[in-house]
Structure 1
Amino acid sequence: MTSPLSPPLPATEAGGSLARAGDLFQLLRDGRPWTRAELAMTTGLARSTVAGKVDLLLNSGLVVFVGEALSSGGRPPSRFAFHPQARTVLAVDVGASHVRVALTDLNGDVIAERRAPLPVADGPEAVLGYVVESGKKLLAESGRPESRLAGVGIGLPGPVEHATGRPVKPPIMPGWDGFDVVGFVQRSLPVPVLVDNDVNIMALGERAAYWPDVDDLLFIKVATGIGSGIISSGQLQRGADGTAGDLGHVRVARGADIVCRCGNVGCLEALASGGAVARALAAQGIDANTGADVVELAAHGNITAIHSLRQAGRDIGEVLATCVNLLNPSVIVIGGSMAAAGEHVMAGVREVVYHRSPPLATTNLRIVLSRAGERAAVMGASRLVSQHVLSPAGVEAALATMASAG
């Protein structure tokens, strides 16, 4: 995974001075080595002020020496850079029928991971108990102390109130509504815990790793359900109540008589999700129970399965054409388990989107398969934590904790 984007120069106080060491640190997040003199020249701070802030960051371990710069005479100046291995992150992907727990560094590079076929319907205690247990084992097996754990990021397959981390009436998560996910995890791992919808964090992970220069991106997850993560003007859009991007329950004309599990009729999810396509094939006498079965049938050349996947792509494209008109993304990424069907779904999506959207909105539009694949969610969960703990306020909090500890 690539390093986090170098953020813009932090806001300055009157007189042009950067307020805190946490602000100065933002210049270092791209991983490029700096000297104290270069930082002083860039920020306008006195060298003595820069030296004091850099010493704090060096003591925290977030910054390390990386050699010496060329000298024009006298002792060569030291270079230092962001040290992503200074802390670890526990990144968690909770799916409808699986849980993936990964240990990463602050750049999102995976150190170790575990995966289990654990249904989210087993309830929060069972699922989060596995998360905590697996996280502790990964830390122990990798020789990383719990004291260096920066935080835990968790993606859930349903709506989440981002401010509290509590699921809100999730349709496929019995027992999770209003559950205190943060509190449960923090009883065992007393670090920041951030929770979001799984598609939102997949969008974060895909963009950070493969589309860092793209400010307007849609990530579409096609699996047991269908949803999207919306990045607009470089920012993840959650909406007023955290339900932005819930494409699965947008009505599609072809499904007027098909009842969705949400109680409405004609929902995209009821026509084009993995389970929906499998049910349609089973009704024709073809042995298919899950989306994975459909993908396998298509891979072996089953014409009916291929046709059904192409039609699912068209149905998704019908909804995405409206999204393109409203949001004008430059990249649409198709991910989730059904993305394993590759070009069969993509062909249907492209066919409708390019036909139904105005030329100006599609001239530079790219519709692509996810490059992060199964790791998109854990990459995004890690990114969620690193954005929090490496922000100016997050770095200042870490430095304050160090100071109070002596």
Structure 2
Amino acid sequence: MVDISGADAQRHINALGSSVASDLFQILRDGRPRTRSELSAITGLARSTVALRIDALMKLGLVDSVGDAVSTGGRPSSQFAIATSGRVVLGVDVGATHVRIAVSDLAGGVLAQDVERMNVSEGPEKVLTWVISAAERLLASVDRASADLLAIGIGLPGPVEHSTGRPINPPIMPGWDRFDVPDYLASSFDAPVLVDNDVNIMALGEREHAWPHVDHLIFVKVATGIGSGVISSGLLQRGAQGTAGDIGHVYVARGADVPCACGNRGCLEALASGPALARALAATGLTASSSQDVVEFVKRGNIDAIQAVRQAGRDIGEVLTTCVSLINPSAIVLGGALAQAGEHLIAGVREVVYTRSMPLATEHLQITQSKLGPDAGVLGASMLAIHHALAPESIEAMVASNGSR
């Protein structure tokens, strides 16, 4: 999101050359109420021009009057801010074994949500049909119609071509390869659909809600698979083909002979993911088949499970050491099902990263557990939708469309 709320506002407006209504809206996105006079002073526009554009934004349900400013003599001036009680977005987090969905206001506040245990391997039609049904039910529960929906954000547990919203050769998503997710939802909702990899949206959610002032962050999801989302200079980095942060298939020498589902050997995911640890524990005679099973054994104090999780942390830390040298983050946040093992996983990561990285890179580096936990994905999907819906070009299009009616 672009911040044009301070002294640089006029320079930004001149550089963008975008519509007045859009520029005013971007100023108000910081959440601070302002009067017409304040907006006029920031933009250099006539107060009458500001009033007309504010009226246009109010008709769209994007801006609302939020009370009067303190009077300095005479009639107090009305203040305006982003409306949080009208238009909404939909966030959807599709995991390997669950689907979580939420309706949020334009400030990212969750109005209603639901979660369903469902395997992504059941196919796109079944999963997305449930999403449509749940979305309609949640919208009705908060007294919103489909017309109030500005955008839909979706995270999927596999590689995604962000420009088209199509999964590309996802290893744990049979039937999803190149499936047109936006087109499938378009039959039910007249709103843009943004699709991304699940760890990217988790990184976005964690940064926006838990680390808003940190511009350099790596979010690592450790669950059925392992991946990372990279925030650099405050922006999510996807890379040329959308695979930035795919650390799960980086080679780790300790597992040179261990086969991975991707077809290679020695991948981090083959050593340190939840299923990999479950297999290792099962070989010792424990009944374990999932990340959650591993976490339960750790919570019971099982020494084999604790040691396995600690070693997984070391393996992850080995890969993250390279990431620290390349990206120099301020924070590394661990999430996903296996992160529920708590300090045992994090301790392993810290052990290697703090030992192997240069002191300057780790002097202020925080390595910690996700603050949002299982909500990171759905909150991030909502933010993905919000950033698109409230971007200058989107506001310009809505104002133009409303004005042509």
CA distance in 2: counterparts of 1:291 and 1:142, whole angstroms: 35
CA distance in 1: counterparts of 2:250 and 2:289, whole angstroms: 24
CA distance in 1: counterparts of 2:385 and 2:250, whole angstroms: 31
Q: State the partner residue of 1:357.
A: 357
Q: State the partner residue of 1:164.
A: 164
Q: State the partner residue of 1:31.
A: 31
Structure 1 range deviating more: 132-141 or 341-350: 132-141
Q: Deviations over 1:42-87 (max 9, x none)?
A: 1111212212211111222211111111223221111111112321
Q: State the partner residue of 2:205.
A: 205
AA aligned to 1:336 is G
Q: State the partner residue of 2:266.
A: 266
Give the secondary-structure state (helix, strand or coil) at the position aligned to 2:14.
Answer: coil
After superposition, the CA RMSD in angstroms is 1.5
AA aligned to 2:317 is G
CA distance in 1: counterparts of 2:234 and 2:398, whole angstroms: 26
AA aligned to 1:403 is G
Contiguous gaps of at least 5 residues in structure 1: none
AA aligned to 1:134 is A
Decide whether aligned partners of structure 1 residues 177 and 18 sit closer, same or farther in structure 2, where only a CA change above 3 A counts: closer
Q: How far is 1:223 from its partner?
A: 0.3
In the superposition, the TM-score normalised over structure 2's length comes to: 0.96
AA aligned to 1:151 is A
Matches within 5 A, 1:144-159: 144-159=144-159
CA distance in 2: counterparts of 1:387 and 1:87, whole angstroms: 14
Q: Deviations over 1:252-285 (max 9, x none)?
A: 1110111011111110001100000010000111
**Contact 2:103–2:110 (CA<8 Å) still a contact in 1?**
yes
Q: State the partner residue of 2:396.
A: 396
How many residue pairs are counted as aligned between the two chains? 401
- 2:54 corresponds to 1:20: no
Q: State the partner residue of 1:233.
A: 233
Decide whether aligned partners of structure 1 residues 84 and 66 sit closer, same or farther in structure 2, where only a CA change above 3 A counts: same
**Contact 2:19–2:396 (CA<8 Å) still a contact in 1?**
no
CA distance in 2: counterparts of 1:150 and 1:214, whole angstroms: 28
The share of aligned pairs that are identical, in percent, is 60
**Contact 1:5–1:30 (CA<8 Å) still a contact in 2?**
no
Give the secondary-structure state (helix, strand or coil) at the position aligned to 1:220.
Answer: strand
CA distance in 2: counterparts of 1:202 and 1:13, whole angstroms: 34
CA distance in 1: counterparts of 2:246 and 2:17, whole angstroms: 43
AA aligned to 2:320 is L
CA distance in 2: counterparts of 1:41 and 1:290, whole angstroms: 58
Matches within 5 A, 1:3-402: 6-7=3-4, 9=9, 11-13=12-14, 19-402=19-402
Q: Deviations over 1:195-224 (max 9, x none)?
A: 000000101100000111111100000000
CA distance in 2: counterparts of 1:217 and 1:17, whole angstroms: 32
Q: How far is 1:5 from its partner?
A: 8.2
